[in-house]
Protein backbone atom coordinates (compact mmCIF):
# COMPACT_ATOMS: atom_id res chain seq x y z
CA UNK A 1 0.00 0.00 0.00
CA UNK A 2 1.38 3.39 -0.99
CA UNK A 3 0.75 6.19 1.49
CA UNK A 4 1.74 9.76 0.72
CA UNK A 5 3.32 11.18 3.84
CA UNK A 6 4.97 14.41 4.90
CA UNK A 7 7.79 15.52 7.18
CA UNK A 8 7.36 15.27 10.92
CA UNK A 9 8.51 18.83 11.66
CA UNK A 10 5.36 21.01 11.59
CA UNK A 11 5.70 24.80 12.15
CA UNK A 12 7.86 24.02 15.20
CA UNK A 13 4.84 24.43 17.48
CA UNK A 14 3.91 27.88 16.14
CA UNK A 15 0.28 28.92 15.82
CA UNK A 16 -0.12 30.91 12.64
CA UNK A 17 -2.61 33.48 11.40
CA UNK A 18 -3.63 32.16 7.98
CA UNK A 19 -5.72 34.07 5.44
CA UNK A 20 -7.38 32.17 2.60
CA UNK A 21 -8.53 34.43 -0.23
CA UNK A 22 -10.61 32.24 -2.54
CA UNK A 23 -13.03 32.64 -5.45
CA UNK A 24 -15.54 30.25 -3.84
CA UNK A 25 -15.92 28.50 -0.50
CA UNK A 26 -18.38 26.26 1.35
CA UNK A 27 -21.29 25.69 0.70
CA UNK A 28 -20.29 26.09 -2.96
CA UNK A 29 -20.03 22.56 -4.40
CA UNK A 30 -16.78 21.56 -6.07
CA UNK A 31 -13.56 19.62 -5.54
CA UNK A 32 -11.46 22.75 -4.97
CA UNK A 33 -13.95 24.14 -2.48
CA UNK A 34 -14.02 20.87 -0.52
CA UNK A 35 -10.22 20.81 -0.48
CA UNK A 36 -10.01 24.28 1.05
CA UNK A 37 -12.86 23.69 3.51
CA UNK A 38 -11.21 20.51 4.80
CA UNK A 39 -7.85 22.27 5.00
CA UNK A 40 -9.18 25.34 6.82
CA UNK A 41 -11.07 23.26 9.39
CA UNK A 42 -8.10 20.94 9.98
CA UNK A 43 -5.72 23.87 10.48
CA UNK A 44 -8.11 25.50 12.93
CA UNK A 45 -8.33 22.25 14.92
CA UNK A 46 -4.54 22.28 15.19
CA UNK A 47 -4.65 25.71 16.83
CA UNK A 48 -4.03 28.02 13.87
CA UNK A 49 -6.23 31.09 13.46
CA UNK A 50 -7.94 30.92 10.08
CA UNK A 51 -9.72 33.64 8.11
CA UNK A 52 -11.43 32.89 4.77
CA UNK A 53 -12.56 35.55 2.29
CA UNK A 54 -14.72 34.42 -0.63
CA UNK A 55 -17.73 35.29 -2.78
CA UNK A 56 -21.12 35.15 -1.09
CA UNK A 57 -23.22 32.12 -2.02
CA UNK A 58 -26.65 30.60 -1.29
CA UNK A 59 -27.61 32.96 1.52
CA UNK A 60 -24.14 32.97 3.09
CA UNK A 61 -23.39 36.69 3.38
CA UNK A 62 -21.18 38.87 5.53
CA UNK A 63 -19.11 37.54 8.42
CA UNK A 64 -19.86 34.03 9.67
CA UNK A 65 -18.10 31.66 12.03
CA UNK A 66 -18.32 27.87 12.03
CA UNK A 67 -16.13 24.81 12.54
CA UNK A 68 -13.48 26.97 14.20
CA UNK A 69 -12.94 29.27 11.20
CA UNK A 70 -14.07 32.81 10.42
CA UNK A 71 -15.45 33.44 6.93
CA UNK A 72 -16.27 36.70 5.19
CA UNK A 73 -18.70 36.20 2.30
CA UNK A 74 -18.42 39.20 -0.02
CA UNK A 75 -20.71 40.62 -2.75
CA UNK A 76 -18.24 40.34 -5.62
CA UNK A 77 -19.19 40.83 -9.24
CA UNK A 78 -18.77 37.79 -11.48
CA UNK A 79 -18.18 37.07 -15.13
CA UNK A 80 -18.67 33.58 -16.61
CA UNK A 81 -18.89 32.17 -13.09
CA UNK A 82 -15.62 33.74 -11.93
CA UNK A 83 -15.89 36.37 -9.16
CA UNK A 84 -13.64 39.43 -9.11
CA UNK A 85 -12.60 40.28 -5.52
CA UNK A 86 -12.55 43.83 -4.21
CA UNK A 87 -9.25 45.05 -2.85
CA UNK A 88 -10.82 46.34 0.35
CA UNK A 89 -12.24 42.89 1.16
CA UNK A 90 -8.81 41.27 0.91
CA UNK A 91 -6.45 43.92 2.25
CA UNK A 92 -7.13 43.89 5.99
CA UNK A 93 -6.90 40.11 6.17
CA UNK A 94 -3.59 40.07 4.32
CA UNK A 95 -2.25 42.78 6.65
CA UNK A 96 -3.41 40.63 9.62
CA UNK A 97 -1.99 37.26 8.59
CA UNK A 98 1.36 35.47 8.84
CA UNK A 99 0.75 33.75 5.49
CA UNK A 100 -1.81 34.24 2.72
CA UNK A 101 -3.04 31.34 0.59
CA UNK A 102 -5.08 31.65 -2.61
CA UNK A 103 -6.05 29.72 -5.73
CA UNK A 104 -6.52 30.31 -9.43
CA UNK A 105 -7.95 32.24 -11.18
CA UNK A 106 -9.40 35.66 -10.34
CA UNK A 107 -8.10 36.08 -6.77
CA UNK A 108 -4.50 35.53 -7.85
CA UNK A 109 -3.46 39.00 -9.13
CA UNK A 110 -4.88 40.96 -6.18
CA UNK A 111 -3.45 38.60 -3.58
CA UNK A 112 -0.02 38.65 -5.22
CA UNK A 113 0.05 42.46 -5.28
CA UNK A 114 -1.10 42.86 -1.66
CA UNK A 115 1.24 40.15 -0.38
CA UNK A 116 4.12 42.00 -2.03
CA UNK A 117 2.96 45.34 -0.62
CA UNK A 118 2.78 44.05 2.97
CA UNK A 119 5.70 41.61 2.61
CA UNK A 120 3.59 38.60 3.48
CA UNK A 121 4.59 35.02 2.58
CA UNK A 122 2.21 33.77 -0.11
CA UNK A 123 1.00 30.46 -1.53
CA UNK A 124 -1.13 29.70 -4.55
CA UNK A 125 -2.77 26.31 -5.09
CA UNK A 126 -3.00 25.32 -8.75
CA UNK A 127 -5.44 22.47 -9.28
CA UNK A 128 -4.81 22.11 -12.99
CA UNK A 129 -2.68 23.83 -15.62
CA UNK A 130 -3.89 23.27 -19.16
CA UNK A 131 -1.67 25.53 -21.25
CA UNK A 132 -1.96 24.58 -24.91
CA UNK A 133 -4.40 21.81 -23.94
CA UNK A 134 -7.13 24.47 -24.00
CA UNK A 135 -6.95 24.18 -27.79
CA UNK A 136 -7.78 20.45 -27.60
CA UNK A 137 -11.23 21.09 -26.17
CA UNK A 138 -12.39 24.59 -27.11
CA UNK A 139 -12.88 26.61 -30.27
CA UNK A 140 -9.81 28.71 -31.03
CA UNK A 141 -11.10 32.10 -29.89
CA UNK A 142 -12.33 30.76 -26.54
CA UNK A 143 -9.13 28.77 -26.11
CA UNK A 144 -7.11 31.96 -26.69
CA UNK A 145 -9.04 33.78 -23.96
CA UNK A 146 -8.78 30.90 -21.47
CA UNK A 147 -5.08 30.46 -22.23
CA UNK A 148 -4.40 34.18 -21.71
CA UNK A 149 -6.31 34.28 -18.40
CA UNK A 150 -4.55 31.18 -17.14
CA UNK A 151 -1.15 32.56 -18.13
CA UNK A 152 -1.79 35.92 -16.47
CA UNK A 153 -3.08 34.50 -13.19
CA UNK A 154 -0.61 31.64 -12.84
CA UNK A 155 2.43 33.79 -13.65
CA UNK A 156 1.80 36.15 -10.72
CA UNK A 157 4.53 36.09 -8.08
CA UNK A 158 4.05 33.77 -5.10
CA UNK A 159 6.59 32.24 -2.75
CA UNK A 160 5.20 28.75 -3.26
CA UNK A 161 3.17 27.23 -6.09
CA UNK A 162 1.28 24.30 -4.59
CA UNK A 163 0.51 21.61 -7.19
CA UNK A 164 -2.04 18.90 -6.38
CA UNK A 165 -0.20 16.24 -8.38
CA UNK A 166 3.12 15.58 -10.10
CA UNK A 167 1.36 16.00 -13.44
CA UNK A 168 0.17 19.46 -12.43
CA UNK A 169 3.64 20.36 -11.16
CA UNK A 170 5.09 19.36 -14.52
CA UNK A 171 2.50 21.47 -16.35
CA UNK A 172 3.27 24.49 -14.15
CA UNK A 173 6.91 24.22 -15.18
CA UNK A 174 6.01 23.74 -18.84
CA UNK A 175 3.20 26.26 -19.31
CA UNK A 176 3.76 28.87 -16.58
CA UNK A 177 7.52 28.98 -16.89
CA UNK A 178 8.09 28.36 -13.19
CA UNK A 179 11.23 26.52 -12.13
CA UNK A 180 11.41 27.36 -8.44
CA UNK A 181 8.99 27.25 -5.56
CA UNK A 182 6.80 24.39 -6.85
CA UNK A 183 5.71 21.93 -4.16
CA UNK A 184 3.50 18.92 -4.72
CA UNK A 185 1.09 18.00 -1.94
CA UNK A 186 -1.71 15.59 -2.78
CA UNK A 187 -5.24 16.43 -1.61
CA UNK A 188 -6.83 14.10 0.92
CA UNK A 189 -9.54 11.60 0.16
CA UNK A 190 -9.76 8.82 2.71
CA UNK A 191 -13.40 7.77 2.46
CA UNK A 192 -14.18 7.79 -1.26
CA UNK A 193 -17.68 9.21 -1.69
CA UNK A 194 -17.79 10.28 1.95
CA UNK A 195 -18.57 6.97 3.64
CA UNK A 196 -22.35 7.37 3.32
CA UNK A 197 -24.15 5.05 0.90
CA UNK A 198 -27.88 4.79 0.18
CA UNK A 199 -28.24 1.03 0.49
CA UNK A 200 -31.82 1.21 -0.79
CA UNK A 201 -30.72 2.60 -4.15
CA UNK A 202 -30.69 0.22 -7.12
CA UNK A 203 -28.58 1.15 -10.14
CA UNK A 204 -30.38 -1.45 -12.25
CA UNK A 205 -33.79 -0.01 -11.41
CA UNK A 206 -32.57 3.53 -12.04
CA UNK A 207 -31.54 2.64 -15.59
CA UNK A 208 -34.05 -0.13 -16.21
CA UNK A 209 -31.34 -2.75 -16.75
CA UNK A 210 -32.19 -6.34 -15.80
CA UNK A 211 -29.34 -8.75 -16.48
CA UNK A 212 -26.73 -6.97 -18.59
CA UNK A 213 -23.46 -5.62 -17.23
CA UNK A 214 -23.43 -1.91 -16.47
CA UNK A 215 -20.46 0.21 -17.57
CA UNK A 216 -20.95 3.53 -15.80
CA UNK A 217 -19.88 7.09 -16.60
CA UNK A 218 -20.79 9.84 -14.15
CA UNK A 219 -20.12 13.57 -14.01
CA UNK A 220 -20.23 16.59 -16.27
CA UNK A 221 -20.53 16.08 -20.05
CA UNK A 222 -17.68 18.55 -20.51
CA UNK A 223 -15.10 18.13 -23.26
CA UNK A 224 -12.19 17.77 -20.84
CA UNK A 225 -13.98 14.81 -19.26
CA UNK A 226 -13.60 12.90 -22.52
CA UNK A 227 -17.24 12.03 -23.08
CA UNK A 228 -16.78 12.66 -26.81
CA UNK A 229 -13.99 10.05 -26.83
CA UNK A 230 -16.42 7.59 -25.22
CA UNK A 231 -18.99 8.53 -27.87
CA UNK A 232 -16.53 7.86 -30.69
CA UNK A 233 -15.55 4.50 -29.18
CA UNK A 234 -19.20 3.39 -29.04
CA UNK A 235 -19.78 4.48 -32.63
CA UNK A 236 -16.68 2.57 -33.69
CA UNK A 237 -17.90 -0.59 -31.98
CA UNK A 238 -21.28 -0.26 -33.67
CA UNK A 239 -19.75 0.35 -37.10
CA UNK A 240 -17.61 -2.78 -36.71
CA UNK A 241 -20.48 -4.87 -35.36
CA UNK A 242 -18.52 -5.41 -32.13
CA UNK A 243 -20.81 -3.90 -29.49
CA UNK A 244 -20.87 -6.44 -26.62
CA UNK A 245 -24.47 -7.61 -26.40
CA UNK A 246 -24.37 -8.18 -22.66
CA UNK A 247 -23.46 -4.60 -21.70
CA UNK A 248 -25.41 -1.40 -21.16
CA UNK A 249 -23.45 1.83 -21.20
CA UNK A 250 -25.04 4.02 -18.52
CA UNK A 251 -24.40 7.74 -18.16
CA UNK A 252 -25.25 9.79 -15.07
CA UNK A 253 -24.85 13.24 -16.57
CA UNK A 254 -24.78 16.63 -14.88
CA UNK A 255 -27.00 19.37 -16.26
CA UNK A 256 -24.09 21.52 -17.43
CA UNK A 257 -22.73 22.21 -19.97
CA UNK A 258 -26.31 21.98 -21.23
CA UNK A 259 -25.39 22.27 -24.92
CA UNK A 260 -22.92 19.38 -24.75
CA UNK A 261 -25.38 17.25 -22.80
CA UNK A 262 -28.08 17.84 -25.39
CA UNK A 263 -25.67 17.17 -28.26
CA UNK A 264 -24.51 13.88 -26.71
CA UNK A 265 -28.07 12.61 -26.25
CA UNK A 266 -28.93 13.61 -29.80
CA UNK A 267 -25.87 11.82 -31.21
CA UNK A 268 -26.59 8.60 -29.33
CA UNK A 269 -30.15 8.50 -30.66
CA UNK A 270 -29.17 9.47 -34.21
CA UNK A 271 -26.53 6.73 -34.32
CA UNK A 272 -28.99 4.06 -33.25
CA UNK A 273 -27.36 3.45 -29.88
CA UNK A 274 -30.49 4.10 -27.84
CA UNK A 275 -30.86 0.42 -26.92
CA UNK A 276 -27.43 0.08 -25.34
CA UNK A 277 -26.83 3.63 -24.08
CA UNK A 278 -28.87 4.80 -21.08
CA UNK A 279 -28.75 8.41 -19.88
CA UNK A 280 -30.12 9.72 -16.58
CA UNK A 281 -29.67 12.92 -14.52
CA UNK A 282 -27.39 13.44 -11.54
CA UNK A 283 -27.94 11.66 -8.24
CA UNK A 284 -27.55 12.63 -4.61
CA UNK A 285 -24.08 11.83 -3.33
CA UNK A 286 -25.27 8.89 -1.20
CA UNK A 287 -27.06 7.40 -4.21
CA UNK A 288 -24.05 7.96 -6.45
CA UNK A 289 -21.87 6.11 -3.92
CA UNK A 290 -24.21 3.13 -4.20
CA UNK A 291 -24.27 3.38 -8.00
CA UNK A 292 -20.48 3.21 -8.24
CA UNK A 293 -20.32 0.13 -6.03
CA UNK A 294 -23.00 -1.62 -8.08
CA UNK A 295 -21.48 -0.90 -11.51
CA UNK A 296 -19.58 -3.67 -13.27
CA UNK A 297 -17.05 -1.06 -14.37
CA UNK A 298 -16.62 2.72 -14.12
CA UNK A 299 -15.35 4.56 -17.21
CA UNK A 300 -13.26 7.76 -16.82
CA UNK A 301 -12.14 8.81 -20.34
CA UNK A 302 -10.70 12.22 -19.35
CA UNK A 303 -8.58 14.38 -21.63
CA UNK A 304 -7.16 16.40 -18.73
CA UNK A 305 -7.05 15.79 -14.98
CA UNK A 306 -5.44 17.91 -12.29
CA UNK A 307 -5.96 15.27 -9.61
CA UNK A 308 -8.73 12.84 -10.59
CA UNK A 309 -11.19 12.65 -7.69
CA UNK A 310 -13.82 10.71 -9.67
CA UNK A 311 -11.37 8.00 -10.65
CA UNK A 312 -9.99 7.78 -7.12
CA UNK A 313 -13.50 7.53 -5.65
CA UNK A 314 -14.29 4.66 -8.00
CA UNK A 315 -11.13 2.84 -6.92
CA UNK A 316 -11.90 3.41 -3.24
CA UNK A 317 -15.36 1.95 -3.82
CA UNK A 318 -13.82 -1.25 -5.15
CA UNK A 319 -15.10 -0.76 -8.69
CA UNK A 320 -13.25 -1.96 -11.76
CA UNK A 321 -11.94 1.11 -13.59
CA UNK A 322 -11.48 1.84 -17.28
CA UNK A 323 -9.65 5.14 -17.55
CA UNK A 324 -7.36 7.22 -19.71
CA UNK A 325 -3.78 8.10 -18.79
CA UNK A 326 -4.54 11.83 -18.82
CA UNK A 327 -2.78 14.11 -16.36
CA UNK A 328 -2.60 12.74 -12.83
CA UNK A 329 -4.74 9.62 -13.32
CA UNK A 330 -1.77 7.19 -13.36
CA UNK A 331 -0.69 8.72 -10.02
CA UNK A 332 -3.96 8.16 -8.18
CA UNK A 333 -5.72 5.05 -9.53
CA UNK A 334 -5.40 1.59 -8.02
CA UNK A 335 -7.17 -1.75 -7.90
CA UNK A 336 -8.36 -3.43 -11.09
CA UNK A 337 -7.67 -0.87 -13.80
CA UNK A 338 -7.63 -0.86 -17.60
CA UNK A 339 -5.75 2.22 -18.78
CA UNK A 340 -5.80 3.57 -22.35
CA UNK A 341 -4.01 6.43 -24.05
CA UNK A 342 -5.90 9.69 -23.55
CA UNK A 343 -8.00 10.60 -26.59
CA UNK A 344 -7.55 7.18 -28.26
CA UNK A 345 -11.08 6.00 -29.05
CA UNK A 346 -9.76 2.88 -30.81
CA UNK A 347 -7.94 1.64 -27.73
CA UNK A 348 -10.93 2.47 -25.54
CA UNK A 349 -13.26 0.60 -27.92
CA UNK A 350 -11.04 -2.49 -27.75
CA UNK A 351 -11.05 -2.43 -23.93
CA UNK A 352 -14.83 -1.97 -23.81
CA UNK A 353 -15.30 -4.89 -26.19
CA UNK A 354 -13.00 -7.28 -24.30
CA UNK A 355 -14.22 -6.28 -20.84
CA UNK A 356 -17.83 -6.53 -22.02
CA UNK A 357 -17.18 -10.06 -23.25
CA UNK A 358 -15.71 -11.06 -19.91
CA UNK A 359 -12.01 -10.87 -20.79
CA UNK A 360 -10.48 -9.79 -17.48
CA UNK A 361 -6.98 -9.67 -18.94
CA UNK A 362 -7.62 -6.02 -19.88
CA UNK A 363 -7.37 -5.12 -16.19
CA UNK A 364 -4.15 -5.02 -14.21
CA UNK A 365 -4.03 -4.89 -10.46
CA UNK A 366 -2.38 -1.74 -9.13
CA UNK A 367 -1.43 -1.63 -5.42
CA UNK A 368 -3.64 0.46 -3.16
CA UNK A 369 -2.78 4.14 -2.68
CA UNK A 370 -3.90 6.26 0.25
CA UNK A 371 -4.32 10.02 0.35
CA UNK A 372 -4.69 10.89 4.03
CA UNK A 373 -5.67 14.10 5.77
CA UNK A 374 -2.59 13.78 7.96
CA UNK A 375 -0.32 13.84 4.92
CA UNK A 376 -2.28 16.62 3.19
CA UNK A 377 -2.49 19.01 6.14
CA UNK A 378 1.05 18.18 7.20
CA UNK A 379 2.32 18.88 3.71
CA UNK A 380 0.66 22.29 3.65
CA UNK A 381 2.10 23.08 7.09
CA UNK A 382 5.52 22.15 5.71
CA UNK A 383 5.00 24.76 2.99
CA UNK A 384 4.04 27.42 5.52
CA UNK A 385 7.04 26.57 7.69
CA UNK A 386 9.33 26.93 4.70
CA UNK A 387 8.30 30.52 3.99
CA UNK A 388 7.14 31.99 7.33
CA UNK A 389 10.04 33.70 9.06
Distinct helix (H) and strand (E) counts, the chain: 14, 19
pTM: predicted TM-score of the whole model, two decimal places: 0.90
pLDDT band, residue 325 (cuts 50/70/90): very high
Residue 336 clears pLDDT 80, i.e. is over it: yes
Dihedral, 284, 289, 292, 295 alpha carbons, nearest 10: -90
Averaged pLDDT score across all residues of the chain: 93
pLDDT band, residue 6 (cuts 50/70/90): very low
Residue 210 clears pLDDT 70, i.e. is over it: yes
Q: What is the pLDDT of residue 67?
A: 96
**Residue that wins the pLDDT comparison between 13 and 92:** 92
Residue 337 contacts by C-beta under 8 Å, 6 or more apart in sequence?
A: 315, 320, 321, 322, 323, 363, 364, 365, 366
pLDDT digits (tens, 9 = 90+) for 211-268: 999 999 999 898 899 999 999 999 999 999 999 999 999 999 988 889 999 999 999 9
Cis ω on the peptide bond leading into residue 359 (within 30° of 0)?
Answer: no
Sign of CA dihedral 153, 155, 158, 163: positive
Q: What is the DSSP letter of 186?
A: P
End-to-end alpha carbon distance in the chain = 36
Residue 31 clears pLDDT 90, i.e. is over it: no
Residue 10 clears pLDDT 80, i.e. is over it: no
Q: Which of 389, 380, 332, 341 has its CA nearest to residue 189?
A: 332
Q: What is the pLDDT of residue 7?
A: 44
Domains of the chain: 2-188+372-387 (3.40.50.2000), 203-368 (3.40.50.2000)
pLDDT digits (tens, 9 = 90+) for 263-283: 999 999 999 999 999 999 999
The phi, psi pair for 44, rounded to 5°, reads -65, -40
Residue 2 clears pLDDT 70, i.e. is over it: no
**Residue that wins the pLDDT comparison between 176 and 206:** 206
The phi, psi pair for 100, rounded to 5°, reads -115, 140
Distances (CA, A) of 111 to 90, 114, 126, 153: 7, 5, 14, 10
pLDDT band, residue 3 (cuts 50/70/90): low
Mean pLDDT of 324-351: 97
pLDDT band, residue 12 (cuts 50/70/90): low
Residue 85 clears pLDDT 50, i.e. is over it: yes
pLDDT digits (tens, 9 = 90+) for 154-182: 999 999 999 999 999 999 999 988 879 99
Amino acid sequence: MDTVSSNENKISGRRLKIAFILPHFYPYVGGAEKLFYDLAVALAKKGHRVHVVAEEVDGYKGKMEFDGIKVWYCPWKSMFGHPFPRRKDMERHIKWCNVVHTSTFTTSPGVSALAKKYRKPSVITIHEMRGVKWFMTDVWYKACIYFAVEQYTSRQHFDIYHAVSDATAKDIKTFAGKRKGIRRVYPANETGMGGNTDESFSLRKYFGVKREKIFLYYGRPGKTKGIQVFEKALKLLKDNGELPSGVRFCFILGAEPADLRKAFIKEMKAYGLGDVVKIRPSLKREQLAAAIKQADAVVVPSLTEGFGFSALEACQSGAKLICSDAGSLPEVVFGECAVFKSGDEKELAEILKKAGEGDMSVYRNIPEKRFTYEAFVGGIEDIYEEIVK
